[in-house]
Every structure is written in C-alpha cells, then in structure tokens.
C-alpha cells in the first residue's frame, strides 16, 4: 500500500568562508559556487529540501555566517536546514531568525545533549535535526542480529567519541530530535554508494525520519538507499553541483523503480 | 496588510518571507487590540497544541473570535489549523475555537510518526469550489510536518492520506486552515497564500 508520502531528495551545500565547497572524505576542498545561487538552482530543478552546512564553523570555533543564511533563505520556498557551529539556544534562534526552518546539530549535541531538548521545546521537534557522522569500526562485521558497529565522530570527522551510532540516534530521538541526518564517513565523497546496512540499522531503530548521506554517485545509489537502506530521504552535494545529475532526471529514475517521489518538480 | 499572530512558539520568519515575496505587507503582533482590528489574520503554528493556551490567557483568543465574527479573513497554518477544531488529545485541557467539529488525534498507524515530507492533497466534494485552492490541481504536493491530525468533517475542503485519511485544508466563509506549510511548499504553497491574499485584499477594498 502506498503511504502517500514521498522519498525526499535533499541537496546539500557545504559552505566555508561564504562559498560552497566539496571535498573527498572531508578534506581537499574545492570551490563549487555561491550558496544562494546554488540553493535556488537546486530548488527549481526539483530538490525537496536544501541543507546548508558551515563545515568549518566548529573547527574554527566561530559562529555560523548569518548573512549567508539570510541571503540563501530569501528566495527559497522549500524547507531549509542550516548546520555547523550551533552551540546554544541563542545560536539556533539567530539561525531561525535569519530564515532557516530547521537546524542541524552535531558536535554540540554530543557534548551537551540537553541542547536538543532545549531547542525542541522552544522551536518544536520538527525544527531539530541531529547530524551523526559515523565511521564503521575497523574489523567489526555486521552481526547476524543486524547490528552495524559504527562510531560517532565530531567536528567534521576530526574527533572520535567512542559512541555507537545507532545508540546515539535513539538517544537523540528520545531527547526531542525530529530527524536524523546520518553521514557515512567511509562513503562520503567516494561516489561509490551510500552505507545501506548502517542506514537501515539506524532507520529501523528510530521512529523519526532518517536522511542518508555520504557516497551518492549515481541514480542507482539512491534506489539502493531507499530500498535496502530504508532511508526516508537522501542527501547529496557534489553530484548536483557540477551538473552530473539533475534532480529531475534522478527523480524520473526513482519513479521508474517504483519509489514515490514529488513530480512534476 | 496581513497581521501575523505571534504566540512565542516557533518561528514566523518563513511565513513572513513568503508574504513579502508575494508583495504583501505584514505586521507581527501579540496584542489583542491589533488582532481585533486586523484586515486579515494569519496564525502560523508549530510545536505543541498546549502553546495555544497563551492565546487564551493573553486575550488574543477572544479577539480572534471577534474578528472572525466581523468577517475578517483568517488563515490558520499547521497547529493554527488544528486550533480551529474543538481541541486536541495532545493537550486535552486546552480548548480550540470549535469552528469545525471534532478533535485532533495522534496518527494511529504503523508508519513513522511524525508525518514529515511532501504528500498530496485532494479536494473533497465540499471543497470543489474552494477559494483557497483556486488554480491548485488535485494531487499537488505540499510539505507536512506533524504528529496529530484533524478529522474529516463538515468544512474540510481537501484531504491527505498517510496510513489514514485526514483533513489537509478547511474552509468556511472567512475562515481557512491548512495542515501543511504553504510557505515551504514551493509554487503550490505560494499559490495558496496568494489566493488568501487576493480574498483578503478584495474584501478590504469593498
């Protein structure tokens, strides 16, 4: 039976110093353009949501660039998420005032999980995405019970926490997160496909939507992550920026594969 | 001039931005006097139904009812639409406006709750000539994010299905409500907001 709801395709803009950049496995950054222009371009070509991540705000220990958020939000009429360097309720409030609909918190949520509840109580759970950067544990196989051992990393993949990704996703949900943005550090930037077993493990463990991220390189990868990975949404950055894929073309393929998507877009 | 009612829950920026994009002036207030005298009222809403309790204690609830009585166009968004029903099991102590019958209840489905994402709306027979949906084809996609849903009763102009069928839009005389977020629903959402503005502007120049 059709549930009626569609699988979402989310275009992600990784931003540093006000410019969109793309790296491989979180390093070696190259310039990909202006955030406001790219956000508008993706929305008109059919992206269901836009995510803007300031990927060096935490490592540079500075707040997110509010003017970039404002400029990007101005002409955007699809859901708009902003993340990177959100450390307090005040940081979140400033981002919402600038026109974001949701904030994504990563490092701050691990260090101070109460912030999830604080922001959710003020702005609603629908406005709080907990982003998890996870890396499979070396040598640990997927168990017969379907558990997938993966460790949570902080600060754009720079610091290991020792925490299990699935367990942390469950805690984030119980503290008020409205969605989980799960990035596989092993797959990110490789264009070899999403980490479907890890995505499925998280998606089955929580009752909130899970956005899969890291590894998109072809339309087939999106089909896999929606089917085998049980993802509610999938996020990609580089494949859209350089015009390798148009969201419209990707959605047409998903529809042919029987995956419900928003069309026409 | 569109008056956006602020009740200190959630974020009004996106709704305001959408009206600005449509060339419509807006003012944000929590003052009962300004609400009573508004040309058109919009109650955006996110979060818990109990936050609408503030509207009762501040006197805004009474002002909204007076404005509706005078024919002021009124649009409720998300929890703002749910507030137009009698109440919600999310906060049984909190009274809605009871402009539409029935109570909002949590989704009873094995699917994930909240219902987050793009889903389709379809007119009811009663909504065939909906002013709010003028020019919006059936099965258009709009963006939802909610855990409680309103029943399909008299006054419901469009429905959506997520495990079960629920009220997506309500419309009666000068009162309109949408469960989804038109300010986040691309061109379809902007068209719906424009329809509301056109209705409001027509009325204020009459």
CA A34 to chain centre: 19
Instruction: Report how far residue B103's alpha carbon sits from residue B190's, in angstroms, rounded to the nearest whole number.
Output: 28
Interface A:B, Cβ pairs < 8 A? 97
CA B22 to chain centre: 18
Q: Tell if the CB–CB gap between A178 and B161 is shorter than 8 Å.
A: no
Residue A265 domain flag? no
Task: Find out whether B181 and B145 touch, Cβ atoms under 8 Å.
Answer: yes
Q: Average pLDDT in the B84-109 region?
A: 95
Token pair recorded at residue A101? 């609909």
Instruction: Report how far residue B179's alpha carbon sits from residue A24's, in angstroms, rounded to the nearest whole number.
Output: 41
pLDDT of residue A246: 79
Per-residue pLDDT for B77 more than 90?
yes
Residue A114 domain flag? yes
Three-class secondary structure of residue B87 per DSSP: strand
B78 is an active site residue = yes
pLDDT band at A4 (very low <50, low <70, confident <90, very high): confident
Q: Average pLDDT in the A211-229 region?
A: 95
Token pair recorded at residue A262? 């928003």
Task: Kindly report the CATH number assigned to the domain that includes residue A242.
Answer: 3.20.20.70
Three-class secondary structure of residue A31 per DSSP: strand
Token pair recorded at residue A225? 């992550």
pLDDT tens for each residue of B149-189: 999 999 999 999 999 999 999 999 999 999 999 999 999 99
pLDDT of residue A158: 80
pLDDT of residue A6: 97
Interior CA angle at B20 toward A84 and B174, to 5°? Answer: 120
pLDDT tens for each residue of B115-141: 999 999 999 999 999 999 999 999 999
Per-residue pLDDT for A43 more than 80?
yes
Mean pLDDT of chain A: 89
Task: Find out whether A197 and A148 touch, Cβ atoms under 8 Å.
Answer: yes
DSSP, residue by residue, A211-249:
EEES---SHHHHHHHHHTT--SEEEESHHHHTTSS-HHH
Catalytic residue among B104, B115, B183, B197: B183
pLDDT of residue B7: 83
Catalytic residue among B78, B104, B169, B197: B78
Instruction: Report how far residue A194's alpha carbon sits from residue B193's, in angstroms, rounded to the nearest whole number.
Output: 38
Q: Tell me the pairing of strands B87-88 and B40-43.
A: unpaired
Nearest CB to B46; choose among A7, A97, A126: A126
Q: Average pLDDT in the A53-76 region?
A: 84
Per-residue pLDDT for A1 more than 50?
no
Q: Which domain holds residue A145?
A: 8-256
Residues 6+ apart with CB under 8 A from A243: none
Residue in chain B nearest A204 by alpha carbon: B112
Residue in chain B nearest A178 by alpha carbon: B114
Residue A3 domain flag? no
Per-residue pLDDT for A81 more than 50?
yes
- Quote the number of domains for chain A: 1
Determine how many CB atoms are found less than 10 A away from the CB of residue A155: 17
Q: What is the distance in angstroms between the Cα of B162 and the nearest Cα belonging to chain A?
A: 5
Q: Average pLDDT in the A232-258 region?
A: 85
Task: Find out whether B44 and B17 touch, Cβ atoms under 8 Å.
Answer: no
Q: Tell if the CB–CB gap between B119 and A6 is shorter than 8 Å.
A: yes
Q: How far is CA B30 from CA A119, A186, B8, in A?
A: 22, 50, 9
Residue in chain B nearest A123 by alpha carbon: B10
DSSP, residue by residue, A130-172:
EEEEEEEPTTPPPPTT----EEEEETTTTEEEEEEHHHHHHHH
Q: Which residues of B touch A (CB under 8 A)?
A: 9-11, 13-14, 17-18, 21, 46-48, 111-120, 141, 143-146, 160-163, 181, 183-187, 189-190
Per-residue pLDDT for A2 more than 60?
no
pLDDT tens for each residue of B33-72: 999 999 999 999 777 888 888 899 999 999 999 999 999 9
Q: Average pLDDT in the A174-191 region?
A: 93
Q: Tell if the CB–CB gap between B116 and A127 is shorter than 8 Å.
A: no
Q: Tell if the CB–CB gap between B114 and A123 is shorter than 8 Å.
A: no
Task: Find out whether A232 and A210 touch, Cβ atoms under 8 Å.
Answer: yes
Query: Is pTM, for the whole model, over 0.90?
Result: yes
Q: Domains plus CATH for chain B?
A: 2-205 (3.40.50.880)
Q: What is the distance in angstroms between the Cα of A30 and the nearest Cα belonging to chain B?
A: 30
Residue A1 domain flag? no
Q: Does A74 touch chain B (CB under 8 A)?
A: yes
pLDDT tens for each residue of B104-115: 999 998 898 889
Q: If residue A40 lies in a helix (H) or strand (E), which one and from where to where?
A: helix A35-44
Sign of the dihedral defined by the CA atoms of residues A26, A30, A35, A41, in that order: negative
pLDDT of residue B64: 98
Q: Tell if the CB–CB gap between A208 and B112 is shorter than 8 Å.
A: yes
pLDDT of residue A116: 97
Residue in chain A nearest B18 by alpha carbon: A77
pLDDT band at B206 (very low <50, low <70, confident <90, very high): low
A chain contacts of residue B116, beta-carbon cutoff 8 Å: 5, 126, 178-179, 208-209, 232
pLDDT tens for each residue of A112-162: 999 999 999 888 889 999 999 999 987 666 665 567 889 999 876 788 999
A85-89: Cβ within 8 A, 24+ apart: A85/A54, A85/A57, A85/A58, A87/A115, A88/A115, A89/A115, A89/A118, A89/A119, A89/A122
pLDDT tens for each residue of A89-118: 999 999 999 999 999 999 899 999 999 999
pLDDT tens for each residue of B15-29: 999 999 999 999 999
Q: Tell if the CB–CB gap between A77 and B9 is shorter than 8 Å.
A: no
User: What order of strands is seen across the sheet that includes strand B2-5?
Assistant: B26-29, B2-5, B40-43, B74-77, B175-178, B164-172, B156-162, B115-123, B140-146
Instruction: Report how far residue A252's alpha carbon sits from residue A52's, in angstroms, rounded to the nearest whole number.
Output: 25
């Amino acid at each position: 039976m059709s549930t009626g709801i569609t699988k979402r395709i989310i275009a992600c803009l990784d931003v540093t110093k006000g410019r969109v950049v793309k790296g491989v496995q979180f390093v070696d950054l190259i310039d990909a353009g202006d955030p406001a222009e790219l956000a508008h371009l993706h929305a008109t070509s059919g992206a269901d949501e836009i995510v803007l991540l300031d990927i060096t705000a935490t490592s540079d220990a500075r707040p997110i660039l509010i003017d970039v958020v404002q400029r990007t939000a101005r002409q955007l009429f699809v859901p708009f998420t902003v993340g990177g360097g959100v450390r307090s309720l005040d940081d979140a409030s400033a981002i919402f005032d600038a026109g974001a609909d949701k904030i994504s918190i990563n490092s701050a949520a691990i260090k101070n999980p109460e912030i999830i509840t604080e922001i959710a109580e003020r702005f609603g759970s629908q406005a709080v995405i907990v982003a998890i950067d996870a890396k499979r544990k070396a040598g640990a196989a997927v168990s017969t019970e379907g558990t997938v051992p993966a460790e949570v990393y902080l600060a754009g993949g720079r610091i290991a926490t020792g925490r299990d990704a699935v367990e942390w996703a469950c805690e984030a949900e119980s503290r008020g997160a409205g969605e989980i943005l799960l990035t596989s550090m092993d797959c990110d930037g490789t264009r070899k496909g999403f980490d479907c077993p890890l995505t499925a493990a998280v998606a089955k463990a929580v009752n909130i939507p899970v956005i899969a991220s890291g590894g998109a390189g072809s339309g087939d990868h999106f089909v896999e992550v929606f089917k085998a990975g049980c993802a509610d949404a999938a996020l990609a950055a580089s494949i859209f920026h350089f015009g390798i894929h148009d969201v419209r073309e990707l959605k047409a393929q998903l529809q042919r594969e029987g995956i419900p998507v928003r069309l026409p877009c | 001039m569109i008056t956006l009612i602020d009740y200190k829950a959630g974020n009004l920026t996106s709704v305001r931005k959408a009206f600005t994009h449509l060339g419509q002036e807006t003012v944000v207030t929590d003052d009962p006097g300004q609400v009573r005298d508004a040309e058109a009222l919009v109650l955006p809403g996110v979060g818990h139904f109990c936050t609408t309790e503030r509207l009762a204690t501040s006197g805004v609830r009474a002002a909204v009812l007076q404005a509706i009585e005078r024919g002021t166009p009124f649009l409720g968004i998300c929890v703002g639409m749910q507030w137009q029903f009698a109440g919600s099991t999310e906060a049984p102590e909190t009274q809605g406006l009871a402009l539409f019958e029935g109570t909002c209840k949590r989704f009873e489905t094995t699917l994930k709750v909240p219902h987050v994402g793009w889903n389709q709306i379809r007119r009811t027979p009663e909504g065939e000539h909906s002013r709010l949906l003028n020019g919006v084809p059936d099965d258009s996609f709009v963006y939802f994010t909610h855990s409680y849903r309103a029943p399909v009763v008299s006054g419901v102009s469009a429905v959506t299905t997520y495990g079960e069928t629920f009220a997506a839009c309500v419309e009666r005389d000068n009162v309109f409500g949408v469960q989804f977020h038109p300010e986040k629903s691309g061109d379809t959402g902007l068209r719906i907001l424009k329809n509301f503005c056109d209705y409001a502007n027509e009325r204020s120049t009459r």
